[in-house]
A and B are shown apart, each in its own frame.
Chain A
Amino acid sequence: MYRKQVRRRRAVLVALIVVSLILISVSFSEAQSGPLHTIQRGISDVLSPLSEGAERALKPARDLVNWFDETFNARGENEALRDEVAELRGDLADAQSALGENQELREQLDLRQTSALGGFEPVTGRVIGRSPTLWYSTVTIDKGSSSGVEVNDAVANGDGLVGRISDVTRGTAQVTLITDHRSSVSARVLPDGPSGVVEPEVGDPDDLLLDFIDNDETDLEGKILVTAGWSNGQVSSAYPPGLEIGRVSEAEPGEQESFQRVHVDPFADLRELDFVQVLTGGPERPGVPG
């Protein structure tokens, strides 16, 4: 009797492990339109009202916990912000002067004033879910294909670039953050610095790495990084040009490599996202499936 129980228990365990391995293998290699992904989207769609309801109902409790956490960190942050304000005052004076010159020159050339995001229709989404594992930096928002959101739309908030849409259901969408290990963003250093690719460092959401920057490039520290939004007519970056990503915090020469190791502080606080803007529509980007 006991032996039979042990055999049954082992059989259940082995069966579950085998099913898990098969699921991993199929899910990993399957296309987004495959049957497993379709079932996943269906389950996600069914449970999204529950997630949304729970997110709203538990908002006060969440705010309370966040308040404690923020208060704990506030003292150190206060000093850093004072330094940043002093630095930004100087930058503002330069920027205002440049803006005046820019406007004057535009008037002379009779150019229409357009922003970097001209042509896009921002859709504001509320974050209703987030992955608990460190290996997936993804959030779920309460806007989906019914609101015009499509795969590969760029996502930003008031501070800067957040990520891009990686999956869509009717009522929700999954945003892959720029700190996810599957993310890479082509970027350039302002005002006329080099271009490279921004990649995350798994496990450290406060630090991004700008890759493919030659060791010859100097004076990068403190400079701002924006999306490059390049296109060669056939292939394009999924991100529109000019979206702010972060500021270069440190550049160290790469060992045994011709590229530097450039660290970037992202502007957006990717750990605490409440609302984000999905940049829907916009100019066509050849080679980017929408």
Chain B
Amino acid sequence: MIVTWRIGIRLALIIVVTVILQVSFFSLVPTLGAVPDLVPVVVVALGLLGGGVVGAVCGFATGLLLDSVLLQTLGASSLVLLTIGYLAGRYREGFEITNSLIPSLLAGGFTLLAGAGYAAVQLMLGVETPVSLLILREILVQALLAIVLALPTYPLLRRALRPALIDTAPSHRVLAPASVRRARGGIRSGLRTARARSPRVGGGVA
């Protein structure tokens, strides 16, 4: 991913909208006995699109905002989310995404990991009351809901960040820098040409 300041603003907007949607909508609609968690799904998607560093930074920022809005222990969500963002990004750097279901399955797996990580952080900070085994069921249901949430989320984010994605370029030539493309007639016309010349690649190394 080529992170220009415009893409940076898009990423920031995605993070703010995600946190607001989570806190004001998804957290208020318990489904199948658990709360759907959009936050890890978006962080994993950003990691898959942008790579390890982008995933880690976005995860850290999302966690910081989430903890601030909810007045929770600052840093706990950041630590968990930056880890899954980084791991998702590393997966993308090492493996090809050949199937459209892979991002959803990865989102489910990393949400499960986030649930376990969050439990570890909380137990480390100290929980004085008994912990029900039902918490395992909730973490599992959250992971299943994450798979469903990722189905529309990943393509949506991919579309929103398309100008920055290297794999949208034609495979047989190197994409010129953003400033040069703008000089030639803007990013959109450049991408239209690129898409017309070669079929879109489902995956590729970001």
Q: Which residues of A contact B (CB under 8 A)?
A: 8-9, 12-13, 16-17, 19-28, 36-37, 39-41, 43-44, 47, 50-52, 54-55, 58, 61-62, 65-66, 69, 127-136, 138, 140, 166-167, 174, 181, 184, 199-204, 207, 209, 271-272
Q: B2 to nearest A CB, angstroms?
A: 14
Given contacts A12-B53, A69-B31, contact A136 B70 (CB under 8 A): yes
Q: Interface majority SS on A: helix, strand, loop or mixed? A: helix
Chain B: interface size category: 35 or more
Q: A11 to nearest B CB, angstroms?
A: 10
Q: Which residues of B contact A (CB under 8 A)?
A: 16, 19-32, 35, 37, 39, 52-53, 56-57, 60, 63-79, 82, 86, 115, 118-119, 121-122, 125, 127-136, 138-139
* Contact among A132, A135, A166, A167 with B22 in the assembled complex (CB-CB below 8 Å): A132
Question: How many angstroms from the CA of A166 to the CA of B72 in the assembled complex?
Answer: 11
Question: How many angstroms from the CA of A203 to the CA of B76 in the assembled complex?
Answer: 18
- Are B60 and A20 in contact (CB-based, < 8 A)? yes
Additional A-B contact list (8), CB under 8 Å, known A44-B71, A66-B29 = A13-B86, A16-B60, A16-B78, A24-B121, A54-B25, A55-B25, A130-B35, A203-B134
Q: A105 to nearest B CB, angstroms?
A: 41
Question: How many angstroms from the CA of A127 to the CA of B67 in the assembled complex?
Answer: 17
**Residues of A contacting B86 in the complex (Cβ-Cβ under 8 angstroms):** 13
**Residues of A contacting B64 in the complex (Cβ-Cβ under 8 angstroms):** 23
**Residues of B contacting A128 in the complex (Cβ-Cβ under 8 angstroms):** 24
Given contacts A13-B56, A271-B30, contact A54 B20 (CB under 8 A): yes
19 contacts between A and B (CB under 8 A): A13-B82, A16-B82, A20-B63, A23-B78, A26-B74, A44-B68, A44-B71, A58-B21, A61-B25, A69-B30, A130-B28, A131-B72, A132-B35, A133-B77, A135-B118, A203-B131, A203-B134, A204-B135, A271-B30
Closest 5 CB pairs of A and B: A203-B135, A23-B75, A130-B27, A27-B74, A24-B75
* Contact among A47, A127, A174, A202 with B130 in the assembled complex (CB-CB below 8 Å): A202
Q: B105 to nearest A CB, angstroms?
A: 21
Question: How many angstroms from the CA of A73 to the CA of B30 in the assembled complex?
Answer: 12
**Residues of B contacting A66 in the complex (Cβ-Cβ under 8 angstroms):** 29
* Contact among B67, B71, B133 with A203 in the assembled complex (CB-CB below 8 Å): B133
**Residues of A contacting B130 in the complex (Cβ-Cβ under 8 angstroms):** 199, 201-202, 209
Question: How many angstroms from the CA of A202 to the CA of B71 in the assembled complex?
Answer: 19
Q: Which residue of B lies closest to A42 (CB)?
A: B68
- Are B135 and A134 in contact (CB-based, < 8 A)? yes
Given contacts A20-B78, A24-B121, A27-B73, contact A50 B28 (CB under 8 A): no
**Residues of B contacting A135 in the complex (Cβ-Cβ under 8 angstroms):** 118-119, 122, 127
- Are A129 and B75 in contact (CB-based, < 8 A)? no
Q: Which residue of A lies closest to B26 (CB)?
A: A132
- Are B60 and A47 in contact (CB-based, < 8 A)? no
